[in-house]
Amino acid sequence: MGLSGRLAAYAVSGAHVLVVEVPGWWETRAAVERALTARGWRTALSPADADVIVVCGDPGEQLSAVVDRVWEQLPGPRARATALHTDEVGAALDETALALRDDQHQRRDAGDRAREPAGGADRGDMDHGDMDHGDMEMAPGGIPLASGGEDRDGLEMDVLHVPLGPVLPHWPAGLVLRCSLQGDVVTEAQVEVLGPAAPSPALSAPADERRAARRCDGAARLLAIAGWDDAAAAARRTRDVLLDGGDRDDAARQLDRLASRVTRSLTLRWMLRGLGCVDGAAVAARGLPESARGDVHDRLVAMLRQSRADLRGEATADEDRAAATRAALPTLVRGLDVAAARLIVASFDPDTVGVRREAVRA
Amino acid sequence: MPDVAVTTVSGAWALVAALLVGVFAVAAASFDGALAARSAGGGARAGARMPLAETARLMRQRRRTTVAADGPLWRTGGGGLLVVALLMVVVVPLGSWTLADLAVGIVWFNAMDVVVWAVVWLAGWGANSAYSLVGGYRFLAQALAYELPLMFALTAPAVAARSLRVADVVAAQHGLWFAVWMPVAFAVYCLSVVAFSVWGPFAPAAGSDIGGGVLAETSGVDRLLLLAGRYALLAAGAAFAVPLFLGGGAGPLLPAPVWVLVKTLLLLAAFVALRRRLPALRPDRFVEAGWLVLLPAVLLQVLVVSVIVVARS
Amino acid sequence: MFRVDSMARATYALAVSFVAVGAALLIVDLHYVGIITVLMMVMEMAIMAVYMIMFMGMNPALMPMDMVHDKRRAIGAAVVAFVVLAGGALLVPWPSRRGAPSGDTTAALGEAIMGSKMLVMMTISPVMVATIIAGIVLAAPRGRYDRLGDDLGRRPADDPQPGGVGR
Q: How many CB atoms lie within 10 A of CB C87?
A: 10
* pLDDT for position A125: 37
Helix (H, G, I), strand (E, B) or coil at B60: helix
Percent over 90 (pLDDT), chain B: 73
* pLDDT for position A127: 36
Q: How many CB atoms lie within 10 A of CB B23?
A: 13
**Mean pLDDT, rounded, of chain A:** 85
* pLDDT for position A24: 87
Least confident of A4-8, B249-253, C43-47, C69-73: C69-73
* pLDDT for position B297: 96
One-letter amino acid identity for B201?
P
The minimum CA-CA distance between A228 and chain C, rounded to whole Å, is: 18
d(CA A34, CA B39): 13
Q: With an 8 Å Cβ cutoff, is A152 touching chain C?
A: yes
The set of residues, in sequence order, having a beta carbon less than 8 Å from that of A337 and lying 6+ positions away, is: A183, A184, A185, A186, B284, C161
- Residues in chain B with CB shorter than 8 Å from the CB of A226 are 279-280
**For residues A67-93, average pLDDT:** 92
The phi, psi pair for A188, rounded to 5°, reads -150, 150
Peptide bond into C156 cis (omega under 30): yes
Q: With an 8 Å Cβ cutoff, is A340 touching chain C?
A: yes
The whole-model pTM stands at 0.91
DSSP B202: G
The phi, psi pair for C103, rounded to 5°, reads -60, -50
Which residue of B67, B139, B165, B285 is the best one to mutate when testing the C interface, meaning the one whose CB has the most C CBs within 10 A?
B285
pLDDT grade for C1, boundaries at 50, 70 and 90: very low
Q: Which ipTM did the prediction report?
A: 0.92
d(CA B204, CA B81): 17
The minimum CA-CA distance between C25 and chain B, rounded to whole Å, is: 14
**For residues A70-93, average pLDDT:** 92
Looking at the partner chain, which of A14, A75, A231 has a beta carbon nearest the beta carbon of B64?
A: A75
* pLDDT for position A156: 75
The pLDDT tens digits of the residues spanning B157-182 come to 999 999 999 999 999 998 889 999 99
d(CA A213, CA A236): 9
d(CA A64, CA A56): 12
Judged against a pLDDT cut of 70, whether residue C64 lies above it is answered with no
Cβ contact B55:B137 at 8 Å: no
pLDDT grade for A319, boundaries at 50, 70 and 90: low
Helix pair A296-312, A338-348: axis angle to 10 deg: 20
pLDDT grade for A279, boundaries at 50, 70 and 90: confident
pLDDT grade for A132, boundaries at 50, 70 and 90: very low
d(CA B250, CA B256): 6
Q: How many CB atoms lie within 10 A of CB A247?
A: 12
- Residues in chain A with CB shorter than 8 Å from the CB of C155 are none
d(CA A8, CA A98): 11
- Asked if C60 and A183 come within 8 Å (Cβ–Cβ), the reply is no
Cβ contact B138:A340 at 8 Å: no
CA neighbor of A276 nearest in space, from A244, A249, A298:
A298
Q: Per the domain annotation, does B2 fall within a domain?
A: no
Judged against a pLDDT cut of 70, whether residue A362 lies above it is answered with no
Q: Per the domain annotation, does B105 fall within a domain?
A: yes
Which residue of B125, B155, B286 is the best one to mutate when testing the C interface, meaning the one whose CB has the most C CBs within 10 A?
B125
Three-point CA angle A54, A58, A61, nearest 5°: 105
Q: Per the domain annotation, does B252 fall within a domain?
A: yes
Helix (H, G, I), strand (E, B) or coil at A81: strand
The CA-based diameter of chain C, rounded to the nearest angstrom, is 74
d(CA A235, CA A241): 10
**For residues A310-315, average pLDDT:** 80
* pLDDT for position A252: 92
Looking at the partner chain, which of C57, C63, C164 has a beta carbon nearest the beta carbon of A158?
A: C57
Could you tell me if residue A42 is left (phi over 0), alpha (psi between -120 and 50 degrees) or otherwise beta?
Answer: beta
Q: What are the CA-CA distances from residue A335 to residues A182, A303, A341, B207 (Å)?
A: 10, 26, 9, 21
d(CA A71, CA B209): 20
Q: With an 8 Å Cβ cutoff, is B71 touching chain A?
A: no
DSSP string, B212-248: TGGGTT--HHHHHHHHHHHHHHHHHHHHHHHHHHS-T
Q: Per the domain annotation, does B104 fall within a domain?
A: yes
CA neighbor of B25 nearest in space, from B204, B268, B222:
B268
* pLDDT for position A123: 42
**Mean pLDDT, rounded, of chain B:** 91
The domain of B242 spans 9-312
Looking at the partner chain, which of B70, B111, B121 has a beta carbon nearest the beta carbon of C38?
A: B111
The set of residues, in sequence order, having a beta carbon less than 8 Å from that of A136 and lying 6+ positions away, is: none
The pLDDT tens digits of the residues spanning B134-160 come to 999 999 999 999 999 999 999 999 999
Looking at the partner chain, which of A154, A157, A336 has a beta carbon nearest the beta carbon of C55?
A: A157
d(CA B128, CA A117): 12
Judged against a pLDDT cut of 50, whether residue C129 lies above it is answered with yes
Question: SS in 3 state form for A235-300?
Answer: HHHHHHHHHCCCCHHHHHHHHHHHHHHHHHCHHHHHHHCCCCCECHHHHHHHCCCHHHCECHHHHH
**For residues A58-65, average pLDDT:** 92
**For residues C97-123, average pLDDT:** 83
Q: Per the domain annotation, does B1 fall within a domain?
A: no
The pLDDT tens digits of the residues spanning B80-123 come to 999 999 999 999 998 888 888 888 999 999 999 999 999 999 99
* pLDDT for position B203: 94
Q: Per the domain annotation, does B236 fall within a domain?
A: yes
- Asked if A7 and B56 come within 8 Å (Cβ–Cβ), the reply is yes
- Asked if A339 and B282 come within 8 Å (Cβ–Cβ), the reply is yes
CA C103 from centroid of its chain's CA atoms: 29
Q: Per the domain annotation, does B270 fall within a domain?
A: yes
- Asked if C32 and B70 come within 8 Å (Cβ–Cβ), the reply is no
The alpha-helical segments, DSSP class H, found in chain A are: 3-13, 26-39, 61-73, 88-101, 103-111, 207-225, 229-243, 248-264, 266-272, 280-286, 296-312, 322-333, 338-348
Q: Per the domain annotation, does B39 fall within a domain?
A: yes
d(CA A324, CA B163): 65
3-state helix, strand, coil in chain B (%, to 5): 75, 0, 25
Cβ contact B67:A143 at 8 Å: yes
Q: How many domains does chain B have?
A: 1
